[in-house]
Amino acid sequence: MPFNIQRVLAFAGLLFALSTVHCQAVDLTVSQEQNPSGVQGWTEQDRQQWYHTSAGTQLIPYDWFVALEDEPLKNSFARTGILADPTHPDKLPIGLSKTEGLNVSGAQVGMTCAFCHTTQFTYQGNQIRIEGGPSLQYNARFLQTLLESLSDLKSPDKFMAFATRVLQRGGQAATPENLNALSKKVKAVTQELVSRGGKDASPALWGPGRFDALGRGGNHVFGQLNPDNLRPANAPVSIPPLWGVWEYDWVQWAGSIQHPLARNIAQVIGVNADLFAWTKTSPNMPSEKSETFRSSVDVGSLKALENIARRLHPPRWPSTFPAINRELAARGKDLYHGNKGKGLPNLCAHCHVAKRLDSPHPNGPSLHVAMVPQKEIGTDNLYLDNFANRTVNLERLGHGRLSAKDASQLVTTELMAQNGAADDPEYHHLTNE
């Protein structure tokens, strides 16, 4: 499948942030105002589902996380940019969820969409939450904090307190046998997390609110099939806001993916959905395709999250902010779109304003993302080059060496078919490209 880097917008997320479709919400008329009972078009139920609906990712056993999360750990998480949710029954932070199902060995805590796409900041003492906004969490430090908490369990007193809480949640007694079994499992899970993180130290340098999702996800998914598939995840980019993105015909920063469900499945398996777990115990691919591509991806939940995202409105200008200077705003509009009458060139809109598709489908997309040569933009091209030049050895899946794009397409197509989404009317008009 060809990948023409000259047609790719280096930082397509800027289009999401700056297109007129999204900017108009800054100055809504009275008739356009959101329902005051909701925030950005969401009800409280929408928010809670967004914050904590699992799409199938797995991090550590759920009861362990709940047992670990005392006040010091909550404070440590807060310093990594993780947002607390005191309304959750188990006090899970925003963006973490409980993953259960047939392909899950015991309830797990995992990351969901809100982990990257909910943000909050403080202005003059006022906390302002932006639903669907780019998170400012520092992923590597969050995981480091979690690992340090697990490592602290080497202390007999801390382990005993932790084990008592975990076993009580599972209806088990703190017998020597149960304590010994739990201790061994803690060591194994901690070692697995260290091993996964040790394959590439790049995320430590990403900084807050930045991810190399394609690089890191590719390492986790394809590194299991062959260690030669590992590459530095050294091209972090900012996280885009989500309002209105379902309307676009490209759904990944690099202009590399067009199918929203395929993109979101790739995100889930890139975080960890236990895909290709058979590689840990066997050198050979299972005889049944259903076992080869067995995972904890929850397509039903992904579709529910996509529908919630569709209802998301852009944020309004906070009332605690200084009033908008209308004269400056008008000048900015002229600079952004250009004004021939004033002799002002189009400085922004030719890249950052999408065009309406001639015959949009009711389920989307309805807007065509502008594809601009990277040389014209002049931004760092490492993210693009890494994906365009990456190849993956898929011999253990019965294939040779494929481009990262073709390998991702193969895997996500199989997972959509296995989860009954291939012929879903909602996506039938789309191709997995």
CA atoms within 13 A on the CB side of 49: 16
- Measure the CA–CA gap between 296 and 153, rounded to whole angstroms: 28
Share of residues in the chain with pLDDT > 90 (%)? 71
> Does residue 156 have a cis peptide bond before it, meaning omega lies within 30 degrees of 0?
no
Terminal Cα-to-Cα distance of the chain (whole angstroms): 9
* Per-residue model confidence (pLDDT) at position 30: 33
- Measure the CA–CA gap between 206 and 193, rounded to whole angstroms: 19
Residue type at position 393: N
Q: State both tokens at 8.
A: 């790719």
Model pTM? 0.88
Nearest 5°: the CA angle 394, 398, 401 is 35
- Measure the CA–CA gap between 97 and 107, rounded to whole angstroms: 10
Is residue 332 within a helix (H) or strand (E), and if so which, with residue range?
helix 326-337
Provide the H-helix boundaries in 199-259. Answer: 213-223
8 A C-beta contact, residue 219 and residue 196: no
What string of H, E and C letters represents the secondary structure of 281-313?
A: CCCCCCCCHHHHCCCCCCHHHHHHHHHHHHCCC
* Per-residue model confidence (pLDDT) at position 379: 85
- Measure the CA–CA gap between 183 and 187, rounded to whole angstroms: 6
Which parts of the chain sit beneath pLDDT 50?
1-37
